[in-house]
């Protein structure tokens, strides 16, 4: 099905970052940037919904977008917008964090575990995470006793041998999403997701979810595609997103976001 080319049918635009707005060099192209700024000038809210923390979003996102966008971090666990005085944080209870660590030590000896607490990254293993997380930093190393006491904004686990068992064990207590071709397991508080954040913002800002256009490429965008009325999948998206998208645009390396916005808004 093709998207209706009627700007009055759109109340808000939601954009994922990695694999969507960011190209393979982790940059926003000038064309994508210009198209988003033009949409903002029409009075349409621009929302960035990402799994990333504030510090790396600041690193990759141009200043112009920081100034105009509402940003949802950590798959919905942190929502920030200074003009709207939004700063909402949803953390995981330290007791559940401790249960996960103990399970991993017993059942997944080769696991890689780290947590985000607000905007600080911690681990109890001294490993170079940069090679597989595509960031320019490593987490702060602290004692396992100390890390068990933390209430994480988000938990990150890699090198799981049995993802199914892990998900079965904690899936009823937490939001567990496997992304990056099952290389990374992302964990948030139960009920917290990109879609819960967008539903929250839609109620506050009084925009229609049915008239919300969303761009995405990976499993953590599935809920958004089901929630919003105008889901747009990137050409590099997983098949599960493509199958429920209203339209499939070009890849994140081919200005897929701009191609749709320019066509839709003339």
Tens digit of each residue's pLDDT (9 = 90 or more) over 97-134: 999 999 999 999 999 999 999 999 999 988 776 665 55
Tens digit of each residue's pLDDT (9 = 90 or more) over 148-198: 999 999 999 988 999 999 999 999 999 998 887 778 899 999 999 999 999
What number of other Cβ atoms are within 10 A of residue 251's Cβ?
Answer: 18
pTM of the model: 0.88
């Amino acid at each position: 099905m093709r998207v209706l080319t009627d700007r009055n049918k759109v109340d808000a635009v939601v954009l994922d970052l990695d694999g969507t707005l960011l190209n393979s060099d982790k940059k926003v192209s000038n064309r994508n940037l210009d198209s988003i700024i033009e949409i903002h000038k029409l009075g349409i809210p621009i929302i960035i919904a990402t799994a990333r923390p504030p510090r790396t979003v600041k690193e990759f996102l141009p200043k112009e977008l920081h100034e105009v966008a509402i940003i949802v971090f950590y798959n919905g666990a942190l929502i920030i917008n200074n003009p709207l005085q939004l700063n909402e944080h949803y953390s995981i209870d330290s007791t559940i964090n401790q249960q996960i660590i103990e399970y991993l030590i017993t059942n997944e000896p080769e696991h890689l575990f780290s947590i985000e607490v607000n905007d600080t990254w911690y681990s109890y293993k001294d490993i170079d995470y940069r090679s597989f997380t595509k960031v320019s930093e490593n987490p702060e190393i602290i004692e396992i006793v100390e890390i068990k006491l933390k209430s994480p904004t988000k938990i990150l686990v890699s090198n799981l041998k049995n993802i199914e068992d892990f998900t079965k064990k904690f899936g009823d207590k937490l939001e567990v999403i496997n992304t990056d071709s099952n290389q990374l397991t992302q964990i948030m508080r139960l009920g917290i997701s990109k879609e819960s954040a967008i539903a929250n913002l839609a109620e506050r800002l009084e925009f229609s979810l049915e008239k919300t256009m969303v761009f995405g490429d990976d499993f953590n965008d599935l809920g958004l595609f089901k929630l919003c009325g105008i889901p747009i999948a990137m050409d590099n998206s997983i098949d599960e997103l493509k199958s429920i998208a209203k339209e499939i645009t070009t890849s994140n390396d081919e200005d897929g976001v701009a191609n749709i916005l320019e066509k839709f808004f003339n």
